[in-house]
Amino acid sequence: MKLTLFSGGAAQAVVTGLQTEFEAAHGCTLAPTFGAVGTMRDKLLAGGECDLLVLSAALIEQLARQGHVVDGSARDLGPVATGIAVPDGAAPVAVGTREALKETLSAARGLYVPDLAKSSAGIHIAGMLQALGLAEVLAGRIREFPNGATAMREMAADGGEGLVGCTQVTEIMYTPGVRLIGELPAEHALRTVYTAAVCTRSRAPELAAMLVDRLSGAASWDLRRRSGFAV
């Protein structure tokens, strides 16, 4: 039996971290697709084969109202903060206050971000840049990618001083070649709750529900914490 899963990139480390164990325990194969939560929603609504979703709580609630999620199947994995990263080997930057963050972003020769229209962090970052008065200043230096994991990989590949990444801390933590500097300061902080739920058109709803329980239950608490979830 194959279980197809659409997930936001924030949960990738958790899903892949328990994949082998779950497959062995239940004699199944997981087929996860990771990306910006808006892109995953669009794949589902376009008719993509899907047994299980791991998206922002807000999107799961929206899809539940539209009849795409099995009633009562949703379980929270926990909140994920949005943070700032630099390539390994680069000097640390200051981001602890609004003023420090603005100065750091203003000086960046490249700002690596996820999709500014379809990812949870990207939508927030776009608003933050507007609030800081930096949207036009940085327009030619923004490096936008389909999701935060890709943005971090590209920043790691480019390397060097003056590069700054902004995405969810989980995506920073599981990407080699970059390091987390810190969460966004309080004025611009974002913590997104991620939720797993069974799709109404799942071909194996009972097995999908077991995976929801595994992702959100006490047995995965340490994995989620190590992956960057605030649990």
Mean pLDDT of all residues in 139-144: 97
User: 38, 115 in Cβ contact below 8 A?
Assistant: yes
Domain ranges of the chain: 2-78+194-227, 80-188
pLDDT at 13: 95
b/e map 19-39, b = 16+ CB within 10 Å? eeebeeebebebebebbbbbb
| Strand pairing category for 163-168 and 75-87 | antiparallel
Sign of CA dihedral 62, 151, 143, 167: positive
Please tell me the predicted confidence (pLDDT) of residue 115.
Answer: 96
Confidence bin at 231 (pLDDT 50/70/90)? confident
CATH number of 80-188: 3.40.190.10
Q: What is the pLDDT of residue 168?
A: 96
Give the integer Cα–Cα distance in Å for 210 and 198. 10
Mean per-residue pLDDT, 12-31: 96
List, for residues 38-73, the tens digit of each pLDDT value.
999 999 999 999 999 999 999 999 999 999 999 999
Q: What is the mean pLDDT of residues 108-132?
A: 96
Q: What is the pLDDT of residue 2?
A: 95
pLDDT tens profile 148-167: 999 999 999 999 999 999 99
Mean pLDDT for all residues in the chain: 96
Q: Give the pLDDT score at 26.
A: 97
Band (127; pLDDT cuts 50, 70, 90): very high
Q: Do domains 2-78+194-227 and 80-188 have the same CATH topology?
A: yes
pTM summary value: 0.91
Q: Which residues contact 136 (CB under 8 A, 6 or more apart)?
A: none
Average pLDDT over residues 31-43: 95
pLDDT digits (tens, 9 = 90+) for 157-194: 999 999 999 999 999 999 999 999 999 999 999 999 99
Residue 219 token pair: 């047995």
Look up the CATH architecture of domain 2-78+194-227.
3-Layer(aba) Sandwich (3.40)
Over range 22-29, report the average pLDDT: 97
